[in-house]
Amino acid sequence: MGQSVATWRRWAWLTGLLVVPLVILAVLVNLTGDISWIQRASSALILMIIVVGLHTFSGNSGVISFASVAFAMIAAYTSALLTIPVEQKPSLFPDLPFFLDWLTTVSLPVPLGILIAVAFTGLIALIVGIPLVRLSGLAAGIGTLAFLVVVTVIVTKWKAVTRGESTMVGVPKETTLWWAVAGIAIAIAIAALYQMTRRGRRLIASREDDKAAMSIGISIPIERLWGWTLGCAIAGLGGALYGHYIATFSATTFGFALTFFTVAMLVIGGLGSLTGAVVGVLVVQILAEFLRTLETQGLGPIPMLEFPGLTEMVLALIMLLVLILRPAGLTGGREITTWFRRRKSAPSDQSVSA
Amino acid sequence: MSFLDLRGVRIAYGEAVAVQGLDIHLDEGEFVSLIGHNGVGKSSTVKAISGLVKPTAGTISFEGEEIQGKDPGVILRKGIAVVPEGRRIFTRLTVKENLTVGATVRKDRGAIEASYRSMIDRFPVLGKYAGRMAGLLSGGEQQQLAIARALMSEPRLLLLDEPSLGLAPQVVDQVFDLLGELRNQGATIFLVEQNAAQAIRASDRYYVMRTGGVIQVEAKGGDSADVSAIEADYLHFGKV
Ligand SMILES: Nc1ncnc2c1ncn2[C@@H]1O[C@H](COP(=O)(O)OP(=O)(O)OP(=O)(O)O)[C@@H](O)[C@H]1O
Ligand SMILES: [Mg+2]
């Protein structure tokens, strides 16, 4: 890639500082042997992959996207179709269109299915990205939301391929906690690398000052298309892993609720840094867990709150508060590495940054 | 054929006409200044040359080829770089990254690295803070970075929009020294300034712009220029 040694060193630090704590967390959770905790940790890590994908585009470009869950959905269905055992396919998909007939004869190993699903998702992202990345601000929000609606409608209506409103069944349930750990490690490593290379830096520059970026020859649509395609493919990795984790799913699994959660996580953690994506997922997930416990069984001395939807409402409120009080999120849009560097060189920095 | 030639350039923002009937020309190797008060259309002129705004009439030719209305990236690739008003460095990138993104239009990695080396030779403070976020630099350092970033594209014509704005007098002197040095090395420079006296002394020729884009004066600059006369004339309209 021709990156300098210093770049590789910074990449290793950022990746390590984010991945190692997650691995430790996973090991600890696994040690408890508590199935429900292992499940929660697995789904949190898978969700984190989708949020890292969202960050890769929105965090670096400053353009909001509501479409990452749509790409997660595309990948989940693609990988499912490629990996469901051959014996089950005739009964599950009796009316496959002729150009997909070959699907009845293939049942790929899950890792290969995921890989192809991710590549396919990236291709779709590249194609729809060509018009979509030209939008920004409100138009980008509406455009990506429209895409989510389109994908949802296709998945719900195209019964022959997606089973419509019936759930997808027979999907090999292979994603474990360790798969999720591997997935998030890959996602973080790729996202960190991208944002440190020249390409990523150009996108970040265009986010800060589009006119200045244009005047030094940065092609904003091209840089956004790179970030978009990569980010959607990462979201696809999360979606495919999720499909093989829950094994039965439908379009509603990947709907507005999940979209809201992923965007809220990124905003609360801090739009603009990979650390923000990771922190946002952890904070929101822990908070949601706590609220859900309150909602369903009460917690210690606190009685059960008969208040369905409490979790979503509180999260929405927190997101609003963060947007108003701390628009750069909990991390302030900073990477964990700058925090370490700052402390290390604090004396010499003070005179300048004070 | 002039190196850069603006003929009858008109720039309007919707109904509001910012510049009209503007004629300016530069020869290769010349240092030309454009001075004028707030709001006369100096920045609009720079933006029109660099492609950030499209002139509504007139032609802008660079080495005989019309470039008006072309995209900024295209114009930059032809060899015109701009140091924008207010510096506009990327505060969230490091100093080094600001310089390397400045070379976006170049392909040869080795040559870009060589340019970077020569840039930190010329601006030692940028080398000293290479790994620091550019937003932490002082105003004068940021201005050096903005100029260095523009130079990273190896332009043949450098446009500068009020590089002295907001800088302490000694730092302004440094900036002008640097421009003089660049000129002596053969760079072609088009400088927009409100700091009339210094701009005039530094340049080979200068234009005075008045509201509506009418050029009242085109005169020889340099150390011998009769700055007092133009200053008197200029002061008549407000502060220098
Ligand atoms: N984007 C814009 N939309 C509308 N009007 C604009 C825009 N940019 C500039 N103008 C107007 O055009 C005129 C010229 O502006 P310009 O920025 O070119 O002036 P200037 O000579 O650079 O001023 P200054 O010395 O203050 O930088 C002003 O009246 C300004 O209000
Ligand atoms: Mg101006």
pLDDT digits (tens, 9 = 90+) for A200-259: 999 999 999 999 999 999 999 999 999 999 999 999 999 999 999 999 999 999 988 899
Task: Compute, in angstroms, the gap from residue B19 CA to the centroid of ligand 1.
Answer: 9
pLDDT tens figures, A1-16: 456 787 888 899 999 9
Residue minimizing CA distance to atom 6 of ligand 1: B13
pLDDT value at position B28?
92
Chain A residue with the nearest C-alpha to that of B107: A198
* ipTM attached to this prediction: 0.85
Q: Do the Cβ atoms of A204 and B76 come within 8 Å?
A: no
**pTM surpassing 0.90?**
no
Verify whether ligand 1 is closer than 6 Å to residue B51 (CB atom). no
Q: Which residues of B touch A272 (CB under 8 A)?
A: 92
Tokens representing residue B76 in the block: 């930059």
Q: Which of B84, B109, B138 sits opposite A215 (nearest CB)?
A: B84
* Contact criterion met (CB below 8 Å) for B202 and B160: no
Verify whether ligand 1 is closer than 6 Å to residue B42 (CB atom). yes
Verify whether ligand 1 is closer than 6 Å to residue B238 (CB atom). no
Residue contacts between A and B (CB atoms, under 8 Å): 71
pLDDT value at position B211?
75
Residue of higher predicted confidence among A186 and A344: A186
pLDDT value at position A204?
95
Asked if A346 has any chain B CB less than 8 Å from its own CB, the reply is no
Verify whether ligand 1 is closer than 6 Å to residue B43 (CB atom). yes
pLDDT in tens, chain B (240 residues): 789 999 989 999 988 888 888 899 999 999 999 998 888 889 999 999 999 999 999 999 999 899 998 999 999 999 999 999 988 999 989 999 999 999 998 888 888 989 899 889 888 999 999 888 899 999 889 999 999 999 999 999 999 999 988 888 888 888 898 898 888 888 899 999 988 888 888 899 888 888 755 666 666 666 666 666 565 555 454 433
Residue minimizing CA distance to atom 31 of ligand 1: B39
Mapping DSSP to helix (H, G, I), strand (E, B) and coil, where does residue A274 land?
helix
Strands of the sheet with B57-62, listed across from one edge? B16-26, B4-13, B57-62, B65-66
Distance CA B5, CA B24 (A): 6
Residues 6 or more apart whose CB falls under 8 angstroms from that of A154 comprise A162
- Alpha-carbon A304 to chain mean position: 32
CA-nearest of A195, A227, A232, A225 to A118 is A232
CA-nearest of B221, B166, B218, B220 to B198 is B221
Verify whether ligand 1 is closer than 6 Å to residue B188 (CB atom). no
pLDDT range class, residue A308, cuts 50, 70, 90:
confident
CA atoms within 13 A on the CB side of A228: 28
Q: Which of residues 112-151 of B touch A (CB under 8 A)?
A: 131-133, 136-138, 149-150
Asked if A353 has any chain B CB less than 8 Å from its own CB, the reply is yes
